[in-house]
Structures are given as C-alpha cells and as structure tokens.
A and B are shown apart, each in its own frame.
Chain A
Amino acid sequence: MEARMAASESRLPLANIWIAFITFALAAFMGLYQVAERSGLFPKIEIIELYFRSVSSHGVIMGYVLTTFFIMGFGYWVASSSLKIPLWGGKKLGWLGFLISLGGTAMAAIMLFTGKASIMYTFYPPLKANPLFYIGAAFLVVGSWVWCLQMVMTMNVWKKQNPGVPVPLSMYGMTANAILWFITSLGVSSEVLFQLIPWSLGWIDTIDVGLARTLFSWTLHAIVYFWLIPAYIAFYTLVPKAAGGKLFSDEFSRISILMLLVFSLPIGMHHLYVDPFQSAGWKFVHMIGTFMVAVPTLITGFTVIASMEVAGRLRGGKGLFGWIKALNWSNPMVLAGGLSLLMLTVGGWGGVVNASYSMDVAVHNTQWITGHFHLIFAGTTVIMYFAIAYYMWPSLTGKPLFSKKMALAQLWLWFIGMLILTLPWHILGLIGQPRRIGVPPYSAEFTAPWEPYLILMFTGGVILFFSALLLIINLLFSHLKRKSSERPVMEYAQALHPSLKMPTLLNGFGFWTAVIAVYMVASYGYPILQFFLMETHGTFPWSI
C-alpha cells in the first residue's frame, strides 16, 4: 500500500528531475563546444554567431532550467518523504506548475537555439531578443511560484496537524528556499513583465537600462542561494546519514538557513560595483550585507565537518585527523559532500575578492568571475545535485542504482575537471582576459600569456563533459531496469541532540519574512525609486 502510494507520489518529482538532467546534458555539450571554440585549437569551429548562441543557451539552461526543475523535484520528494502527508493543493496543481514551467522553457529554448535570443542569461537590454524568449522565461518563473506556494502551504498544514513539534529540518530548509525564491524572483519578474516584454513587443519605445540592471541585481545574488540551499539541505540531512553519523546541531542548521534567507536578499548591488548609476554609498551598504552572508556559510562548514567527524569516530577513527580516513568515502553522498566542501573553500575565497568594495575592479567582468561561479555553482552546488539524485534514485524509481562505481568515478571526474577548468580561469582573469569572448583578434602581445591556460581549460571541459555523460547513463540505466527492488524509504539524519521543542522563531518564517520586507525596502527602496525621481533617457532596442 505504502509502496504504491510512493510510486504515485514519485512521478511529479521524477518528471521535474528528468527535465533538469536532460537539459543539463544538452548544456554540458554546449559547454564542451565553448571551451573548444575558446581554446583556439580548432579554427574551423570558430563561428562567432554560433558561439554566442551557445553561451546564451548554456547559461539559461544551467542557471534557470537545471536549477529550477531540479529544486522543484527535490522539494516535492522532500515534502512527501519527510512530512508524509499529501501535497497541499494536490498533485494536479503540482503538474500544472510543471507544465507552465515546461512550456515556458520550450518557448525560450526555441528562441535560444534558433539564435533569436543570443543576449546571455543576464538579458542585457538594450540588446533585444525575440519577445517569445522573455515570455517563455516569465512562464518558467510563474510555474515555479506554484511550487513555492505548495511548499509553504504543505508545511503549514503539517504544523497544524503536529502542534509544537519541530518541522523536519529538510522540509524547513526547503520551505525557506521556496520563500527565498519567491522574493528574489520578484526583481527579474518586474524587469521582464514591466520593461522587457512591453519594450520587445514595441508597446513602449525605450527602456531605462539603469532601472533594468538594478531590478536584475535584486534577483542576481539571492538566486545563487536558491541554487545552493538544496546542497546545504543535503549537507545537513543526507551527508551525516550516509556517513553513518548524526547531524551535529539541528538548531544551528536552522539558524544558518535563516541567516542565508535574510542576508542573501538585499545584497545584489555588489553585481553593480562598476555600474555608474548607483552611488558608492549604496554599494557600500550592500558590501556590508555581502560579508554578513559569509557567516552562515562558515557556520555550515563547521556543522557539516563536525557531523562528519561524529560519523568518522563512530566508525572507529582515532586521533586528530584519523576520523577523516575512517569515513566511508565509497559512498557517493559522503564523497560528494567532501569534494563539495573543498570547492566551496576555494571558491569562497575567490568570492571574498569579488565581494570586496575595493578589490572588485581588478577582476570585475574578467574570466575570474566565470571561474568563481563555475567553482561555486557548477562545482560545489551541482555536485551535490548529482549526489542527491543518486541518493534519491532507489526510493524515487523503486530500482537500485545501476552502478555505484560509475557514480563514484563520475563525482571524482566532475571535481577534477572543475578544478582544471576554473583555476586557470581565475588566472586568466587576473592577467586581463575578459569573460564572454570567443577568440578575439587582440594583438598577440596581450594574448600570448593566455595560451597555456586555454589548453588547460579545454582539458577540464572535456573531463566535465565525460562526467556529465556518466551521470546520465547511470540514472537512465537504473530507471530502465526491469527488476524492481523493494522501494527503500528516503532517510534523513537525526540530530545528535534531538529537540523535542524548537523555539518558534526557528520553526516558522512569519517573523523573518517581515524582517526581509523591511530590509529589502531599506536597501532597494531608494536605489529603485531614484529612477523615477530623476530625468532619465531611455534606450531604443538594438539587435545583436
């Protein structure tokens, strides 16, 4: 009975996750093409129109499609496996959201693939794409709002049925992420709905690029935490379980999630550090917030490493570092957790440079930035998506994983490939290579020092593509297996000191949502309002 219920509950998360990984495979292939083009080794494929078409598609898919669908799928499965109650609004509502997002994705993808939207995932007005691209992107976001609503409401229903009982940490984190995504997506949604769509359709003649970029910056930083929080949920609730230990602290996990929620939202203006139209004072305010957001990440690092130490010692590890050796590194979740933390450490260090009010000019818009976010997002975050998929797959599909060895090899290759790709990118940025170029005809006196790093970059890209293929093969072969195993239950780590009662502030979001509202108005109110108070000159659309 329960197995049949799990089978019917699993279809919606599975559909979401398959869309995520199918589009991921496509975008991974584009990534391979881009490093090949950019390496300068293959003059025949240096077709600039194709290159920028590919870069735009790669960015939109990896940043918006892979993430949104994966997180929706993971969220639906966490909701049903941790709360064990039916989804608020029913599965049909979930399917409706899925179809809206999928339709929007298809619309945007057709425009991207046919070269009618080669304007990067950051939209970059006054470059103009076909209106269907913006409309498709809007549908993708609107569909995900259905998911946000279902996460929040399902948690509320569960709380009413279980008064005084702490919400399971996995669902608490997932709901925080739904709230985070809803609020952060309001910035880009306003830009798309009130500026880009009417402007691209010709209903309004000009666009205020300063306002558009400010609204986009509202979304641009917190969206990174929307992508990252699922990885943190895995750090807190899945890695300790897979390692055979316990979560070090439930309370501090919640505190870090709440700090991420509050601090990550009003700091997007560090993406505008070198934009003229916001004064240095506002950039300073957002710089302070940006450094505050480092705190929950540092706390998370402690909690995860402490939880892993508990597991290592339970397995007989002794001494200061002996517990590391004692850990079960042949478990994909444990391995991914370790590799992810390593990449987070290196990438976080680079992030401090970008976040710095004064140092950013040395690296802004250089390849350093591309290196930074590939390390933090494609490395730290996406490697956890892989591990989450491997972890959920038996409970989602009712079939055992096709090959654990292949999974381990895939994670190692992703880690190694990502380092070979991104470390040279950091150096290229420092010696002056701009991001988002193909093979530019600059004078050789400036580009000669780039060459060894370009070869490394290409090598990293090939390894990553191979790793992406292993992921898809493993998940697909598992799913297609005839023999069904007994469907295992999705298991979450228990806290070392389980709390029977949780302070109200750590068990809900009402108060925090109000704090965010005030903080957002304080940090984005005037910077947005100023465009309506001064005389601005709009810009007409330009084709690429």
Chain B
Amino acid sequence: MHVDGTEKKWVILSFLMAFAMMGILTAYAINYNIRPPSNVETVDSNALHLTKEFAEDNLGLKVLADGTVTVTMVAARYGFYPQNLKVPSDTSIKFRLASADVLHGVHTAGTNMNTMVVPGYVSELTTTFPHVGKFPMFCNEYCGLGHDYMWSRLIVVPKDQFTLPAPQGGAQ
C-alpha cells in the first residue's frame, strides 16, 4: 500500500480540523449551555383544550411560583396563539409550545428562538432577547395550504418598562 507523505499530512490535518470543530461546539455546549432545543415530553394534541396548561385562557406570559418567566403558546393552523406577544428584554424566558393539529415551526430571525412544534410533543426552549423592537414569528415548516398566512408578532419591550404579572401558585 502506497501512502504519499503530503497526503498523510493532509489526512492528519483533516482529522484535526474535524476535532477542532467538535471541540469548539462541545466547549460552547458545556460552558455556555448553548444547545439545540430538546424536550422529550408528550401531550395529547387532539385534546389540548382539556389540558390545564394549553387551555385557551392559560396561554401567554406568566410568572411561575419559582420566579420563572414562562410563555405558553399553541400553534394551530394558521396562527400562533396568543397572536401578539409582549415580552421584556434581557430576561430569561421559557417558551412552551404545543401543536393543536399538524407539524409547525416557529422562528424569529436574529434570535435563538427556533423550534419545531410537533403534534404529540411539547416543545420547550429558554432564551433571552437582548434587542428591543418588533419581531416576526414565522411558521417555518410547511403545514398546509395556508402556511404562508401563519405568523405572529413578538414585541420586545425594555425591561424597565415592563411590569411582570404576579407569580402564580403551583408549578406549570
């Protein structure tokens, strides 16, 4: 078997490049907890209205007893509910989303808010919005012929101008 000297160096370099990229991503994951959104939790998407958490009058922003700022949302053809969402800047916010019908996705460009919303499962992600302003939340996964119409507004208000609601009793 013939191995050329330059080729051998290149192979070693290729492995080193791959390891370097894995290393950087691992370091970010461990040190800054930057991970893709994951949450292995099931929900009956056919009966969301019967769950306490995703019932219509429970959607939106609230503060849990432990102080966590949580936004509960439902994705359903063709909108995200609540349709206009106001959140404070520079605050860690936990989003919990469920689909009432088919596959959806939500993405706000320029932020880390990007998750699929899969029927049968609860999506969860925690993020902070450092920039104040109006942002779109587009449905980014084909969900039927009305897909183009599925989007909502996210309004990030300066933290000091935002009054958080009183903490609710009990966990989610």
Contacts and interface: CB of A to CB of B under 8 A. Distances in A.
Interface of A: 48-49, 52, 118, 120, 124-127, 208-210, 213, 248-249, 251-252, 273-280, 283-284, 287-288, 291-292, 294-295, 298-299, 302-303, 306, 352, 356-358, 360-362, 364-366, 430-432, 434-443, 445-446, 497, 499, 502-503, 506, 530, 534-540, 542-544
A445 B134 CA distance: 10
Contact of A441 (B112, B140, B148): B148
A278 B144 contact: no
B4 A360 contact: no
A299 B29 contact: no
Contacts of A542: 101-102, 144
Contacts, number: 215
Given A210-B121, A249-B4, A434 B107 contact: yes
Contacts of B122: 276
Contacts of B90: none
B37 interface: yes
A274 B1 CA distance: 44
Contacts of A52: 142, 145, 147
Given A287-B25, A358-B28, A209 B2 contact: no
B160 interface: no
B38 interface: yes
Contacts of B39: 276-277
B67 interface: no
A436 B103 CA distance: 14
A536 to B, nearest CB: 5
B30 to A, nearest CB: 10
Contact of A442 (B105, B113, B138): B138
B7 A306 contact: yes
6 contacts: A52-B142, A209-B118, A249-B3, A275-B118, A280-B38, A537-B44
Interface in B112-140: 112-124, 134, 136, 138-140
Contacts of B7: 248-249, 252, 302-303, 306
Given A126-B119, A294-B17, 18 more contacts: A249-B3, A274-B36, A276-B116, A276-B123, A280-B36, A280-B38, A284-B35, A358-B36, A361-B113, A362-B112, A432-B110, A434-B105, A434-B141, A435-B140, A436-B142, A443-B136, A502-B1, A539-B119
B147 A437 contact: yes
A276 B142 contact: no
A347 B38 CA distance: 27
B109 interface: yes
Contacts of A279: 38, 40
A310 B21 CA distance: 32
B171 interface: no
Contact of B139 (A249, A298, A434, A502): A434
B107 A539 contact: no
A364 B112 CA distance: 10
B10 A357 contact: no
Interface of B: 1-4, 6-7, 10-11, 14-15, 17-19, 21-22, 25-26, 28-29, 34-46, 101-103, 105, 107-110, 112-124, 134, 136, 138-145, 147-149, 151
A499 B26 CA distance: 41
Contacts of B119: 126, 209, 539
A47 B114 CA distance: 28
A190 to B, nearest CB: 18
B118 A210 contact: yes
Given A440-B148, A441-B149, A209 B120 contact: yes
A497 B14 contact: no
A251 B2 contact: yes
Contacts of B101: 126, 542
A434 B108 CA distance: 10
Contacts of A48: 145, 148
B17 to A, nearest CB: 7
A278 B37 CA distance: 9
Contacts of A278: 38, 40
Contact of A439 (B14, B108, B123, B148): B148
Contact of B1 (A213, A287, A435, A503): A503
A251 B144 contact: no
Contact of A277 (B34, B121, B134): B121
Contact of B107 (A252, A283, A364, A530): A364
A443 B10 CA distance: 50
Nearest to A126: B102
B145 A49 contact: yes
Nearest to A251: B1
Contacts of A213: 118
B115 A431 contact: no
Nearest to A292: B18
Contacts of B134: 445
Nearest to A48: B145
Contacts of B38: 276, 278-280, 283
A127 B18 contact: no
A277 B141 contact: no
A152 B145 CA distance: 44
B74 to A, nearest CB: 15
A275 B36 CA distance: 9
